[in-house]
Structure 1
Amino acid sequence: MKKKGERGEEKGMTYREAGVDVGKVRAAQESLGGIISATHKMISQGRVLSGFGHYAGLVKLGGQTIALHSDGVGTKVLVAQLMNKFDTVGIDCVAMNVNDIICVGAQPVAFIDYIALREPNEALIEEIARGLVEGARQSDMAIVGGETAVLPDIIAGQENAFDLAGMVMGVVKKGKKPMLGSAIKPGDVILGVESSGLHSNGYTLARKVLLSKYSVDDNAEHLVQTVGEELLAPTRIYVRPVMELLDKIRVHGLANITGGSFTKLPRLNRNVKYVLDSLPAPTGIFRQIQSDGRIEAAEMYRTFNMGVGFCVVAPKEEAEPAIRIFKKHRMACRVVGRIERGAGSVEAKLGDGRMHDLQSSKN
């Protein structure tokens, strides 16, 4: 049976009902973080500066600060299989890694991929590799190795079934400190940089909503491409403008808007409140998902990037210079909010004109 809201109307699908309980995921991550933190003192060379909880792990090695991060493409690979198109998921894999590592102020340097296949498939691997190379080109880094595994008992599905993940290493420029968000303070502005679509998050919910109603070749009311083409749009890579930003203006915090969407902003600094009062209205695939799934606005902004793929927190006077840098790189950027006094909460003004606590499931 459909759930009823306070006024008796049917409530739409949630990410948890689609199969992903973000609360349980975070609890598991925190438990894992506590376990692995014991290894931070086992290092024989260097020193761990930052481990679990931020966008990347940081190790001080000699005079160099090294950043490390690992991520995958998630269930977006299932869309690639349905489309029988594999030359862009490599871009997604690179993007999910480099867009996180730049959040600590590190320049991506080297990347390693991991491809798991249901069965040997040279053509599939070549297509995936083309995307990986394009992602590396956009990130100004090298792919220095990887692993290909054939796992028929684990990778289920059709002949072209696969999974894709990677790991990136970056370096913080000598003479600069890692960007961990401690400088964020009330009065700062929050800038939002446009996304290229869903990027590579929320696909369990997106697929359940859209692919239960349409095929990948169908058109839909709010989409300019087919459903499959919209779902497969590659994740935007923000490396070049962000690296320029760090060289030219004062930046207090950087956030890749991925899993958990805007609810993860407090990982930058939990001693302030994040007020998002100028977020863009849902368009394109976001509007389509919300409409077809009858999903509440707060649930959408807790799950998807909603057109904002990356956030920059900076002093108010740096907003215009930052916007110009992103424009130079052909990315739209605008002020979407501000920092206020508080304790790690995230509030957003949504379509009903009210402020919602995005970290609460009760709005």
Structure 2
Amino acid sequence: MDYEDAGVDISQEEKAIAALVKQIEDIQRKDGYNKINVENHFAGILDAGDFYIAMSTDGVGTKVIIANEMNYYEGIGKDLIAMNVNDIISTGAEPIAFVDYLTFEDPDPYVSEGIGRGLSKAAKESNINILGGETATLSEIVNGFDVAGTCIGVINSEENLTLGDSISTGDKIVGIKSSGIHSNGLTLARKSIKKAGYSYHDEFKKNKKIGEELLEPTRIYVKPVLEALNDCKINGLANITGGGLNNLKRLGEFGYHIQELIEPPQIFDFIQECGDVDKKEMYNVFNMGIGYAVITRETEKVIEICKSSGYEAKVIGEVRKGDYVEIDTVGKI
């Protein structure tokens, strides 16, 4: 099984995005606050004169289906903020504020309360404000519920912009461990598990069900990344979300050579076995244990900062000439 077999056609999705972008790419505000061209980066950037504003929007995908099945929603709230703040920090920005959008087929206070608890905990961990949001009842459109959010961050000066412009061959890639599947690739995961005849309520490992493992919240990388930006020379930052380590390509045209991986959480072996998913496809879809990547030459300092904040990190590869992502044990992805 691959992502397209599971119902996600990435090429068609890219065509749909391109059609939208074609209609809006020339839009530029008059009288300042101009956007900076950061095509395909993790967040949009506005030049505000003395500082810069970063802005990003994201959701949690079909993870909401599993949340419904397990009747547990707090993790979804944390996922929502994590997906956004992890994108924002990838520009060198400090996230400061967030708004959410929650849409229901039939409004359910139990669901919204659980999501709210997760939002609250994640906002405190990320040190951001939640300014409000929008709740809509769309019974003729939505099946169950869906949730999305938007985050803004600030970059205090041009030299603090971290968009990959200073990456050069010989730089090292530090990988920071993920907490699990995070919030990408859930469609392939769900279809693979279904194909193998499992239920989300079946035991995955001692005292933990399959559904509970899939709902493990996305890790928030704000604290170690902001500290590394303050104390080290960082040349590039990548949130390893949908597309896995291919997200490194968003930082510039280089060869990102991965020589030593972080041990992937057990859930990935389980998904691969359930769906008979090719190993290369696994690395094309999932984070495979690496939730975030930092490109730097000050690797020891970055790893120590991560360690002191409770994050496992290590050098996983280096930047070379070319235009590819290659993993020694997998090949080019």
Partner of 1:17: 5
The residue type equivalent to 1:208 in the other structure is K
Report the counterpart of residue 142 of structure 1 in structure 2: 129
Q: How far apart are 1:145 and its partner, in Å?
A: 1.1
Q: Give me the TM-score of the superposition, normalised by structure 1.
A: 0.88
| Alpha-carbon separation, structure 2, partners of 1:143 and 1:176 | 28
**16, 20, 38: which one pairs with 1:32?**
20
SS of the counterpart of 1:198?
coil
Of 43, 52, 63 in structure 2, the residue corresponding to residue 76 of structure 1 is 63
Moved more, 231-240 or 21-30: 21-30
Q: 2:184 aligns with which of 184, 194, 201?
A: 201
Tell me if 1:256 matches 2:256: no
Aligned to 2:203: 219
**CA offset at residue 280 of structure 1?**
3.1
Matched with 2:312 is 332
Q: Secondary structure at the match of 2:4?
A: helix
Q: Tell whether the 8 Å contact from 2:77 to 2:118 is kept in structure 1 after alignment.
A: yes
Q: Which residue of 1 aligns with 2:79?
A: 92
Residue equivalent to 1:349: 328
Distance 2:264 2:227 in 1: 29
2:142 paired residue among 142, 155, 179: 155
Query: Contact (CA 8 Å) 2:239, 2:247: kept in 1 or not?
Result: no
Alignment of 1:212-251 (within 5 A): 212=195, 213-220=197-204, 225-251=208-234
- After superposition, give the CA deviation of every residue in 1:294-345 in whole Å (9 maximum; x if it has no partner): 1111100000000000001111xx1111100000110000111111111x21
CA distance in 2, matches of 1:211, 1:238: 32
Query: Paired residue for 1:275, among 253, 257, 272?
Result: 257
Letter in 2 for 1:356: G
The number of residue pairs the alignment matches comes to 332
Counterpart residue number, 2:271: 289
Output the CA distance in 2 between the equivalents of 1:60 and 1:153: 40
Q: Is the 8 A contact 2:104 2:142 kept in 1?
A: yes
Equivalent residue, structure 1, for 2:106: 119
Deviation track 1:227-248 (CA, whole Å, cap 9, x = no partner) reads 0110100000000110000000
Pairing 1:308–2:287 present: no
The structure-2 alpha-carbon separation of the partners of 1:283 and 1:251, relative to structure 1 and needing over 3 Å to count, comes to same
Q: Which ranges in structure 2 are unaligned for 5 or more consecutive residues? A: none
Name the counterpart of 2:281: 299
Shift of 1:65: 0.3
Whether contact under 8 Å (2:43, 2:55) holds in the other structure is: yes
Q: How far has the Cα of 1:223 moved from its partner? A: 7.6
SS of residue matched to 1:211 = helix
Gaps of 5+ in 1: 1-12, 359-363
Q: Give the distance between the partners of 1:223 and 1:165, measured in 2 at CA.
A: 33
Query: Is the CA contact (8 Å cut-off) linking 1:118 and 1:155 kept in structure 2?
Result: yes
Name the SS for the 1:15 alignment partner. coil
Displacement after TM superposition at 1:265 (Å): 1.1
Distance 2:38 2:206 in 1: 40
Aligned partner of 2:42 in structure 1 is 55
Alpha-carbon distance between aligned partners in 2 of 1:281 and 1:326, rounded to the nearest angstrom: 17
User: In the aligned structure 1, how far is the partner of 2:63 from the partner of 2:154?
Assistant: 29
Separation in 2 of the partners of 1:233 and 1:347? 28
1:154 & 1:42 partners in 2: Cα distance?
Answer: 33
Give yes or no for contact 2:98–2:128 (8 Å, CA) kept in 1: yes
